[in-house]
Amino acid sequence: NRNLFGIKDLSVEDIMAIFEKAKEFKALSRSKIKKNSLLRGKTVVNLFFENSTRTRSSFEIAGKRLGADVINMSVSTSSIKKGESLIDTAKTLDAMKADLYVIRHSQAGAPKMFSKYVSGQVINAGDGVHEHPTQALLDGFTIYETGKKFKDLNVAIIGDILHSRVARSDIYLLKKLGANVTLVGPATLIPDEFKSFGVEIENNLDNILGKMDVINLLRIQLERQGDSLFPSLDEYHNFFGLNDERLKKMKEDAIIMHPGPMNRGVEISFDVADCKQQVILDQVENGVAIRMALLALIIEGSE
């Protein structure tokens, strides 16, 4: 099978093949007739147990641009609300003969478990604090498109690393491609286990800003913090927020990334979120191209 559960499972060759395919589909998405019929007759089911704007809508657009039938199963109005389990949901959808399932779930490992009960392929659209592989691929593709070389590229990932599946997937991808990764944030949000990922850890953003080629900002995941938040959001903004003053300390050709959703005024100031060094909406556009590439490669490859 050709499931995608995490970046850990991909080789450098796999990643580069996905980037090349995404280039082709980005061009298609920018053309007058944005679609083809590559996946005509195929069925893709979007199954999101957690909220999403970008991932869910870009998978839907990606599937439709390739001619597939895309079903968005609304978890809040499904029989899951009547107590049906994830396993019985999988068996039920399998009986309907879908070709691919896109799954976001609050529990790490849920997409893998789901895959054991369906004959179609599964793509992980974010599982707990485990991985968000399609985000890392679109982040990597966005860097690749700038023409920057990954080897020895200095990338800072700043923010709530502890609760971030994006951080984990980005680290795996960037390290595989040869980049240097520095994690930046308060000690409360960067656990020691990350030292084993081959990254640098820095608690003072101002010490490293001037050396970085890529600044990747993450939001504080308030929904995963438990009872207390230390530092507070105001303190976080003062110590780690990217503002005008810090922007001036950055290399002129450094790029600012953010997977979204953004909390303006916390990890990034209102003005910097729209400055000319940010590539945040390029990441969103690339998200469609990367997801088209994955749907095409996974569905075609599984036949």
Residues marked active site are found at: 54-55, 82, 104, 132
Binding mask 260-289 for ligand CP (x = CB under 6 A): xx----------------------------
Q: Find the shortest distance in angstroms from Cβ 286 to ligand CP.
A: 12
Nearest by Cα to 49 from 72, 76, 70: 76
| C-alpha to C-alpha distance for 134 and 49, rounded to whole angstroms | 17
The residue to which tokens 């929904």 are assigned: 223
Find the Cα–Cα–Cα–Cα dihedral 62, 64, 66, 72, rounded to 10°.
70
Near ligand CP by CB under 6 A: residue from 31, 53, 119, 238? 53
Gap between the terminal Cα atoms of the chain? 9
Q: Which residues are annotated as a binding site for L-aspartate?
A: 82, 165, 219
Q: How many CB atoms lie within 10 A of CB 148?
A: 16
Q: Which residues are annotated as a binding site?
A: 54-55, 82, 104, 132, 135, 165, 219, 260-261
Q: Find the shortest distance in angstroms from Cβ 72 to ligand CP.
A: 13
> b/e string for 8-17 if b means 16 or more Cβ within 10 A?
eebeeeebee
Near ligand CP by CB under 6 A: residue from 46, 135, 142, 182? 135
Nearest by Cα to 207 from 191, 183, 237: 183
Q: Which residues are annotated as a binding site for carbamoyl phosphate?
A: 54-55, 104, 132, 135, 260-261
Residue 106 interacts with ligand CP (CB under 6 A): yes or no? no
Q: Give whichever of 269 and 286 is closer to ligand CP, judged by the CB atom.
A: 286
Ordered DSSP codes for 244-276 = HHHHHHS-TT-EEE--S---BTTTB-TTGGGST
Chain Cα centroid distance, residue 156: 16
| Single-letter code of the amino acid located at 174 | L
Q: Give whichever of 108 and 208 is closer to ligand CP, judged by the CB atom.
A: 108
Residue 55 interacts with ligand CP (CB under 6 A): yes or no? yes
Residue 54 interacts with ligand CP (CB under 6 A): yes or no? yes
Which among 13-21, 48-56, 87-95, 186-194 is the span making contact with ligand CP, rule CB under 6 A? Answer: 48-56
Residue 107 interacts with ligand CP (CB under 6 A): yes or no? no
Near ligand CP by CB under 6 A: residue from 101, 219, 259, 299? 259
Q: Find the shortest distance in angstroms from Cβ 66 to ligand CP.
A: 20
Residues at the site binding ligand CP, with contacts judged by CB under 6 A: 52-55, 126, 135, 259-261
